[in-house]
Structure 1
Amino acid sequence: MMLNLAALKKGHEGLNKGFLTAVMSLALLGLAGCSSDGEEAVEPAPLPDFTAEVTIKEVWSHGVGSGQGDSWLHLTPVVEGDRIYTAGASGQVTALDRTSGKEIWAVELDRRISGGAGIGEDLALVATRDGHVIALNAADGSKLWETPVSSESLSAPQVANGVVVVQTIDSKITGLDAKTGKPLWIQETLQPVLTLRGTSTPLVSRGVVFAGFANGEARAFRADNGSLLWDAKVAVPRGSSELERMVDVEATPLISDDLLYMVSYQGNVVAIDPASGRVLWAREASSYESMSEGFGNLYLTDAESFVSGVDQRTGSVVWTQKDLKNRGLSGPETSGSQVVAGDFEGYLHALSQVDGRIVGRTKVDSSGIRVKPLVVDDMIYVYTNDGYLFALTIQSK
């Protein structure tokens, strides 16, 4: 069973913690629960005061479809060359000039999209709610092929070295021929009884596929034939209930300076040797958002919307910003000397990479910002929940 824990925690002001726990526990039995009085409520922190050190300015914006939809999707924009590609939950796929925001092409698929967009080798890739992968020509949006996979995918298909890699919610990962869509290989892991609703986006690097799974494992596969190279533990399930034992790895793996970094819910953030799978260090953490790096740190948003900087070499926490607690922060991304993240009310927050202090903020869109901002060169791309893509810049005051 999959739980939309992020939606429960982020989407309801005044939600009672006892009620949240009861609902998630009783979900195992298909029941509903009720809260007890006197419990601490999960409420978003008010917007904190700060001294503005930067200004965030809009360069352009463009509507690109239905956005994230109502299923707590994480459809993410992706850049290749001078174009930025987006996918919308109702079936829209769009290519824009990333500098001007001018539309290059847009297609309406007669399918609901659950994962995307992926880009590479002249393909624009999406996954559908009914368990298919669709490849479009990245130049003009024309459809090239469509292939069924084992289940729904909630992450963007990835492509490299002639292989499209897609991870599905049944804890399987599949390699498809990039030219034809023909299945090449499939691998699977043991799936826990209870998982978060989401999947990690595989990372393909140097002919190897790195992926995290709902059972807390990291695995590496050969991209050409799917053979397993190694497996490692990001987190080990602990506790007496299935709820307590959830250790999903939903964040996209990150490679920096020849080390692989992964993080799990109710588990750890870890550094792994990508060649051997040996865990070099582990630090307790709980996150389902993808990380970023800069200034020798990893940056992560935890399940309470605390943002932390973690030393990449040792795993030591350098700083933690707690003033945005429970504001449903997206994953963080670096831009210049700042870390940027969106929240459930549509604010984009800028933090200092040095100490995590808030240095800037702007209201982008009232529908909220669920997905991690995308930063390319000096441009910040923010894809809002209702389907608007914004290009922004940060300037020092």
Structure 2
Amino acid sequence: MLNPVARNKKTFVSAVIGMALLGLAGCSSDGEEAIEPNPLPDFNQEVKVHKVWDKGVGSGQKDSWLHLTPVVSGDRIFAASASGRVTALSSATGKEKWEVDLETRITGGVGAGEGLVLVGTRDGQVIALSERDGKQLWKAPVTSEVLAAPQVERGVVIVQAIDAKLIGLDAKDGEKLWQQEVLQPVLTLRGTSTPRISDGVVYAGFSNGEARAYRLDTGIQLWDAKVSVPRGSSELERMVDVDAEPLISSDRLYMVSYQGNVVGLDRDSGRVLWARESSSYESMTEGFGNLYLSDAGSVVSAVDQRTGSIVWSQKDFAHRSLSGPAAFGSYVVAGDFEGYLHVISQVDGRIVGRTKVDSSGIRSRPVVVDDMIYVYTNGGDLTALTIK
């Protein structure tokens, strides 16, 4: 059961982030004016964004500050709404394959693989559905609310809960195989990094600014590293949460923290190869030898993967609450709080395209598979787009 102190703590900090750091227009709770978002920037259109299909898949995530990102597995895309609806669609046409209502609040998802569709709930449950027909296969309790998408590989489901516990479950029946725990700071952002699995190793980031690697089968810790070290006199200043998903590229692992650093790590040892000051809670993408990240102020930057040096920065989206970026061909795409999808050149960061997807806003990072971009809006609209 979720510790009520932790829940209150998370809710308070989430409100601070929502009103102050994300820069939405209006007044904050103490009467001070919040930072105004930049107006839509002018640009010379070089590409057109075409809608292939769109489909309503429930009530979305509204103003809950969740990141319920769809996932593509095989020829299907799976999406979940906060109200409990999980939908499977053809990734090519948007035709519905199945839909189920779990009648519970979904806060973490969606994960898919090995025939499973996985979501986490507010009351600390992990639910596994069949990819084929949506039938519930099992439900397993974990230690607290799940805000990150559960992951599965080699018969093990990995769950990272909001109380900084990392749990391995048997993919057949949800039985607990192992559990690891990291000491949590007094205050954290309301968010959890989604673990990544590669070659039998689980890579995870935590709210204390650490990155850790574990064996997938046993949960034995292989190494730990500091992404960021807390600094400052107050607990708010000392927050260095790693909420973004780790990015794996060849023999390196890249991670970014809030009020801390973006770092390049050696995958085998956790040795820090380079570190650059940054502040972000959105996941990164890569291309052309660069990392692309959207920071807490919605400045998009390209960072050289070898050295950590800044290649370019695009500041025209400041305080527009950009989603995490996704690479598409030679472009980077990201959504904003007004529901626009922006297209940026990977070469120099110039804006080359834009389209309005949905006025409810785009918080979840776009999903790119082959020649399609999938955008899930806060209001529950799932849209497939392509760029020409």
TM range (shorter): over 0.9
Note the 1:254-273 alignment, pairs <5 A: 254-273=247-266
Is the contact made by 2:24 and 2:37 (CA closer than 8 Å) also made in structure 1? Answer: no
Structure 2: how far apart are the matches of 1:387 and 1:211?
28
Note the 1:286-305 alignment, pairs <5 A: 286-305=279-298
Specify the alignment match of 2:6 in structure 1.
Answer: none
CA shift at 1:152, angstroms?
Answer: 0.2
Q: 1:10 aligns with which of 15, 19, 22?
A: 22
CA shift at 1:11, angstroms?
Answer: 6.5
Specify the alignment match of 2:118 in structure 1.
Answer: 125
Is 2:345 the partner of 1:380?
no
Specify the alignment match of 2:3 in structure 1.
Answer: none
Structure 2: how far apart are the matches of 1:102 and 1:7?
35
333-342 or 4-13: which moved more? 4-13
Structure 2: how far apart are the matches of 1:34 and 1:344?
22
Structure 1: how far apart are the matches of 2:164 and 2:180?
9
Is 2:53 the partner of 1:60?
yes
Structure 1: how far apart are the matches of 2:63 and 2:39?
25
Aligned residue pairs, count = 376
**Structure 1: tracts of 5 or more residues without a match:** 24-32
Q: 1:167 aligns with which of 152, 160, 164?
A: 160
Structure 2: how far apart are the matches of 1:83 and 1:378?
15
Aligned AA (2:383): F
Note the 1:1-397 alignment, pairs <5 A: 1-2=9-10, 3-4=13-14, 5-8=16-19, 9-10=21-22, 12-15=24-27, 33-35=30-32, 41-395=34-388
Specify the alignment match of 1:29 in structure 2.
Answer: none
CA shift at 1:68, angstroms?
Answer: 1.1
Cα deviations across residues 114-165 of structure 1 (Å, max 9, x unaligned)? 0011001100000011000000011100000000000001010000011000
RMSD (Å) for aligned C-alpha atoms = 1.1
Structure 1: how far apart are the matches of 2:211 and 2:354?
35
Is the contact made by 2:24 and 2:319 (CA closer than 8 Å) also made in structure 1? Answer: no
Structure 2: how far apart are the matches of 1:6 and 1:245?
14
Aligned AA (1:13): A
Is the contact made by 1:10 and 1:344 (CA closer than 8 Å) also made in structure 2? Answer: no
CA shift at 1:66, angstroms?
Answer: 1.3
Aligned identity (percent) is 69
Structure 1: how far apart are the matches of 2:190 and 2:139?
24
Structure 2: how far apart are the matches of 1:318 and 1:367?
32
Q: Secondary structure at the match of 1:7?
A: helix
TM-score, L = length of structure 2: 0.95
CA shift at 1:71, angstroms?
Answer: 1.9
CA shift at 1:364, angstroms?
Answer: 0.5
CA shift at 1:79, angstroms?
Answer: 0.4
Is the contact made by 1:48 and 1:324 (CA closer than 8 Å) also made in structure 2? Answer: yes
CA shift at 1:14, angstroms?
Answer: 3.9
TM-score, L = length of structure 1: 0.93
Structure 2: how far apart are the matches of 1:305 and 1:46?
13
Aligned AA (1:282): A
CA shift at 1:211, angstroms?
Answer: 0.3
CA shift at 1:6, angstroms?
Answer: 3.8
Aligned AA (1:7): G
- Shift of the 306–11 alpha-carbon distance from structure 1 to 2, 3 Å rule, reads closer
Aligned AA (1:106): E
Is the contact made by 2:23 and 2:319 (CA closer than 8 Å) also made in structure 1? Answer: no
Is the contact made by 2:339 and 2:358 (CA closer than 8 Å) also made in structure 1? Answer: yes
Cα deviations across residues 40-70 of structure 1 (Å, max 9, x unaligned)? x511000111000000010000011111143
Cα deviations across residues 208-244 of structure 1 (Å, max 9, x unaligned)? 1100000000000111111110000000000000000
Cα deviations across residues 233-279 of structure 1 (Å, max 9, x unaligned)? 00000000000000000000000122100000000000001100101
Q: Secondary structure at the match of 1:42?
A: coil
**Structure 2: tracts of 5 or more residues without a match:** 1-8
Structure 1: how far apart are the matches of 2:174 and 2:197?
17
CA shift at 1:10, angstroms?
Answer: 2.9
